[in-house]
Amino acid sequence: MDKLVIEGGAKLKGEVTVSGAKNAVLPILAATLLTDEPCVIKGVPNLRDTNSMLKILRSLGKVAEFDKGKVGVCAGKASSYIASYKLVSTMRASFCVLGPLLGKLKKAKVSLPGGCVIGVRPVDLHLKGIKALGADVSIESGYVVAKANKLHGAYIYLGGVYGSSVLATDNVMMAAVLAHGKTVIESAACEPEVVDLAEFLIKMGAKIKGHGTPVIEIEGVKNLHGAVHSIISDRIEAGTLILASLITAGDVLIKNAQYKHLGALLDKLDEAGAHISRLDGALHVKGNKKLRAINITTLPYPGFPTDMQAQMMSLMSVTGGISVITEKIYPDRFMHVSELNRMGAQIQREGPHAIVEGVKNLSGAPVMASDLRASAGLVLAGLSARGETSISRIYHLERGYEFIEEKLINLGAKVWREKE
C-alpha cells in the first residue's frame, strides 16, 4: 500500500485540465443496462470507482471496454440481475444499478452499498421510489430484492431529512423511463450530474423534462436504444484545484471547468477576497495571502457542496480569523478535523459545526485519509504546510481524482509516493 508524501511550500503555477465527472459517469454507465444496443461514453476518468462500475457491468453480463477515456458497452442483454456484495460494498454509487436492472429486467438483487465512512447514508428514499413504481421490495441477507410484473408511473416525493438525494433521484429516474405511464419526481436532486444522466437517457430515447429543477417529469417508453455521450467536467475536482491554487498563493489556469456548476463555491471565495476570473470553459485563479475568514453551510445543489467541505476547511485553517463550517448533508463528516489538528490547525467540533480559528502556518505531519474528500483536504493542507506531510490510505484519493499527482507535479508541487 502506498502513501503520498508532500513537501509543502511550493506555489502552484501553470495550466491544468479537469477530468470528467466521477459522480456523473457512474450512473451513466449503470444506465447502459437499460438497452440491448451498444453505447459509447466519452471523457471517462480513469478512477478506482470507474473500474469498479465496469466490473459490476461485466458481472451482470455486459461487455464493457475502457480505452483512453472512452468506454464502449457492447450490444447484448444483461444476463444477471444480481449485483454482489463483493463489488457493491466497495463503492456506494454502484447501488444505482438497482433502478436500471428493475426497469429492464423487472427484477433486481443488489447488495446494500459501501463506500466512504462519512456517516449514516440510508437507502430509504431509493426504496420508497421504486415501491411507488409498483415494485415489491424486501431486504434479504444484506441485499435489496426488488420485483415487479409491471412498473407504472407514479407521483413520488423524494425529499429526505437532509434534502434531496442524488443517487435516489438517479435510481428512480432510471427505473421510471421504462415504466408504463407518467412519473413525477418532486424534491428531485438538481445537481449537474443528475442533469447529465437525464441528457444521456434522452439520447437513448427516454422522455424526460424538468431535469435540473426540483420536479422531474418522465413519460415511460417501451424501449431505449444505444447512444454516444460525453461526460461533463468534474466540478468537485475543479473546486479542489481552485482551493489548491489559493492555499499555495499560486497562479493557475484551470481548463475544462464550468463556473456555472460552481456558483456557491465561487460566491464564498469572492466573499473571502479571492481573485478568480470566469472564462469560457476555464477559470483563472490568482492566489493571495490576504483572504478573509468566511462561514459556510453545506446544502443540496445549488447550495455549497458537502464534497467541498473538507477542502474549504483546510483553506480556512490558514486564513486569519474565525470561520464556522456547518455540515447539513452528512453531520458526521468531520473525520478530517483531528488530522488537520495534528498539522497545527485550530479546529473545534460542536455537533454539525466546526469552528476554525485560522493559524499562520500548518506543519507537515503523518496523517491518515478517512474518505475521498477528506484525503483531498489533507493534500491541500500538505501543499500549504511547512515541512513534509505523509498521507496514508490514499486509495481513497484514487477513487475520485484522476492523475492528481501528475497534475500537481506539473503545477510545481513536490509530491511523490512511498510504500507504507
Q: Which residues contact 43 (CB under 8 A, 6 or more apart)?
A: 19, 20, 25, 69, 230, 231, 233
Q: Which residues contact 128 (CB under 8 A, 6 or more apart)?
A: 156, 158, 168
Residue found under cell 417508453: 221
Q: Can you tell me the distance from the alpha carbon of 46 to that of 269, in angstroms, rounded to the nearest whole number?
A: 29
Q: Is 39 a catalytic residue?
A: no
In sign, the C-alpha dihedral spanning 258, 259, 260, 261 is: positive
Which of these is catalytic: 39, 96, 116, 190? 116
Instruction: Please list the alpha-helical segments (H only) found in 120-206.
Output: 124-132, 166-176, 192-203
Q: Can you tell me the distance from the alpha carbon of 106 to that of 101, in angstroms, rounded to the nearest whole number?
A: 7
Structural contact between residues 377 and 240, judged by C-beta atoms closer than 8 angstroms: no
Q: Can you tell me the distance from the alpha carbon of 334 to that of 320, in angstroms, rounded to the nearest whole number?
A: 21
314 φ/ψ angles, rounded to the nearest 5 degrees: -65, -45
Q: Residue 301 has which C-alpha cell?
A: 445543489
Q: How deeply is 67 buried, as exposed, middle or buried, from its count of CB atoms within 10 A (0-12, 13-18, 19+)?
A: exposed
Q: Can you tell me the distance from the alpha carbon of 14 to that of 224, in angstroms, rounded to the nearest whole number?
A: 44
Please give the helix or strand (H or E) that residue 278 lies within, else none.
Answer: strand 275-279
Cis peptide before 302, with omega less than 30 degrees from 0?
Answer: yes
Q: Which residues contact 255 (CB under 8 A, 6 or more apart)?
A: 15, 16, 17, 18, 281, 282
User: 293 vs 26, 290, 313, 320, 380, CA distance in Å?
Assistant: 35, 10, 10, 6, 17
Q: Which residues contact 246 (CB under 8 A, 6 or more apart)?
A: 269, 274, 285, 287, 291, 315
Angle between helices 235-247 and 372-384 (to 10 degrees): 20
Q: Which residues are catalytic?
A: 116
